[in-house]
């Protein structure tokens, strides 16, 4: 017999912390990670010695990153493990921590994402199976191809792609943790140089460095450590899938998100109309349109219009990428999924200040990872 998250012990996000995402620097990853964890501990009102397990999400650091970082908080002997799932590493570490608390193995667990860019490509290029493109392949290329197909199929103009980046730059400018903190005009976003197909620089996310930490706890953990229950955000669902075989003419990425979110809505007993805030994997501008439709936030082919109308702005019916998304907040890989959870938590607590979505009650975080995998989490305020 299998269980869903809803069948197990309730799990709550009780602490969040980040090191701002930034361009590659000489800052050691330990400095990045410790700042995020200490901020999360302070946010929760917890001491490190109360944390019973830790999952470190990193895709680029290499082996044995956890203890050399976390020992600086005190060598408490807790179990530590690494999680690597490409762009979805942070989301997967969060899922592991949530499952551990839900199953009753721990009452307080940590998921910490930390990364620094600049290392060469990963395992998909070392399977022993060759291809015809070699090192010319890059995510921007394939998403640019999908952008061309999407625009041709739906009649969406290139300006709609640009408006995604305009909206997210506006949100990122209000996020002190964002790597890009300048609001851009449509003219700026659409200006050359081009990277791939219709994508300009501002339609491609910056891959920098940073860290994001999330502490999760059970009801017992909240009681035992006298945490502030009014700021604890319930994790309603955690769903994860990998790509299946698709017809060559179909868009496998959108299909994967659609399949995953069907499971999400069933597990969380909600629908897209219930979502107040959504963080989405917008590594490239086209992805926000594709996935907004796959999540059911708007009808197929209408995401561009929804962005243009302001329906997906802060203050609209659903605030999409209120953090600035990957396009403006940045995409340091390991931390990204946890940064989304931190943003949703902040929004649901009503603590997002100038980028607060009014009366936000339910939020969804969506990530995809190279391979491909998809993870979706739904959070709800008490």
What residue ranges bind other proteins (CB under 8 A)?
A: 129, 131-133, 135-138, 140-142, 144-146, 148-149, 152, 193-197, 245, 248-249
CA end-to-end distance (rounded Å), the chain: 30
Q: Cβ closer to other proteins: 75 or 245?
A: 245
Q: Name the minimum Å distance from CB 251 to other proteins.
A: 10
Q: Cβ closer to other proteins: 5 or 196?
A: 196
Q: Cβ closer to other proteins: 78 or 283?
A: 283
Six-digit token string for 7: 């069948």
Q: Name the minimum Å distance from CB 90 to other proteins.
A: 22
| C-beta separation of 351 from 13 below 8 A | no
> Do you find a cis peptide bond into 372, omega within 30 degrees of 0?
yes
Give the span between the Cα atoms of 160 and 168, in whole angstroms: 13
* Complete DSSP assignment for 168-192: HHHHHTT-TT-S------HHHHHPS
**Closest among 257, 269, 233 to 351, alpha carbons compared:** 233
Q: Cβ closer to other proteins: 102 or 161?
A: 161
Residues 95, 377, 257, CA angle at the centre, nearest 5°?
A: 110
Nearby residues of 71 by Cβ (< 8 Å), 6 or more positions away: none
Q: Name the minimum Å distance from CB 133 to other proteins.
A: 5
| 184 phi and psi angles, rounded to 5 deg | -115, 145
Q: Name the minimum Å distance from CB 266 to other proteins.
A: 26
| C-beta separation of 376 from 261 below 8 A | yes
| C-beta separation of 112 from 36 below 8 A | yes
271 exposed, middle or buried (CB, 10 Å; 0-12, 13-18, 19+)?
exposed
Q: Name the minimum Å distance from CB 245 to other proteins.
A: 6
Q: Cβ closer to other proteins: 243 or 274?
A: 243
Q: Cβ closer to other proteins: 60 or 73?
A: 60
Cα torsion 339, 340, 346, 348 to 10°: value is: -160
Integer angstrom CA distances of residue 162 from 16, 169, 327:
31, 11, 11
Q: Cβ closer to other proteins: 1 or 133?
A: 133
Q: Name the minimum Å distance from CB 82 to other proteins.
A: 25
Q: Name the minimum Å distance from CB 135 to other proteins.
A: 5
Six-digit token string for 178: 């964002």
Q: Name the minimum Å distance from CB 154 to other proteins.
A: 15
Six-digit token string for 270: 């909600």
Q: Cβ closer to other proteins: 33 or 206?
A: 206
Q: Cβ closer to other proteins: 6 or 119?
A: 119
Q: Name the minimum Å distance from CB 7 to other proteins.
A: 30
Give the span between the Cα atoms of 123 and 282, in whole angstroms: 23
């Amino acid at each position: 017999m299998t269980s869903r998250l809803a069948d197990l012990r309730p799990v709550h996000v009780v602490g969040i912390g980040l090191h701002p995402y930034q361009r590659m620097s000489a800052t050691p990853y330990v400095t990045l990670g410790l700042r995020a964890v200490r901020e999360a501990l302070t946010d929760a009102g917890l001491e490190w010695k109360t944390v019973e397990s830790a999952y470190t999400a990193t895709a680029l650091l290499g082996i044995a990153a956890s203890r050399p970082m976390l020992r600086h908080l005190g060598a408490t002997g807790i179990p530590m493990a690494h999680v690597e799932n490409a762009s979805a590493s942070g989301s997967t570490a969060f899922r592991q921590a949530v499952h551990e608390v839900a199953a009753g193995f721990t009452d307080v667990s940590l998921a910490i994402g930390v990364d620094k860019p600049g290392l060469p490509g990963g395992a998909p290029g070392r399977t022993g199976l060759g291809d015809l493109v070699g090192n010319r392949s890059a995510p921007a290329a394939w998403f640019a191809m999908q952008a061309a197909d999407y625009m041709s199929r739906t009649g969406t103009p290139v300006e709609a792609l640009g408006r995604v980046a305009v909206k997210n730059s506006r949100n990122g400018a209000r996020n002190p943790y964002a790597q890009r903190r300048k609001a851009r005009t449509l003219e700026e976003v659409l200006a050359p140089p081009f990277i791939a197909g219709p994508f300009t620089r501002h339609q491609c996310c910056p891959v920098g460095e940073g860290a994001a930490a999330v502490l999760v706890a059970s009801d017992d953990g909240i009681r035992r450590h006298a945490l502030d229950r009014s700021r604890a955000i319930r994790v309603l669902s955690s769903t994860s899938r990998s790509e299946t075989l698709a017809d060559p003419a179909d868009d496998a990425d959108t299909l994967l998100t659609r399949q995953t979110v069907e499971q999400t809505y069933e597990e969380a007993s909600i629908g897209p109309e219930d979502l107040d805030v959504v963080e989405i994997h917008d590594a490239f501008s086209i992805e926000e349109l594709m996935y907004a439709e796959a999540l059911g936030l708007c009808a197929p082919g209408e995401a561009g219009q929804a962005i243009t109308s302001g329906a997906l702005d802060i203050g609209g019916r659903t605030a999409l990428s209120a953090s600035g998304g990957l396009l403006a907040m940045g995409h340091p890989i390991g931390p990204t999924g946890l940064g989304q959870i931190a943003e949703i938590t902040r929004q649901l607590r009503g603590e997002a200040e100038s980028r607060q979505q009014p009366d936000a009650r339910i939020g969804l975080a969506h990530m995809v990872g190279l391979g491909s995998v998809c993870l979706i989490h739904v959070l709800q305020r008490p």
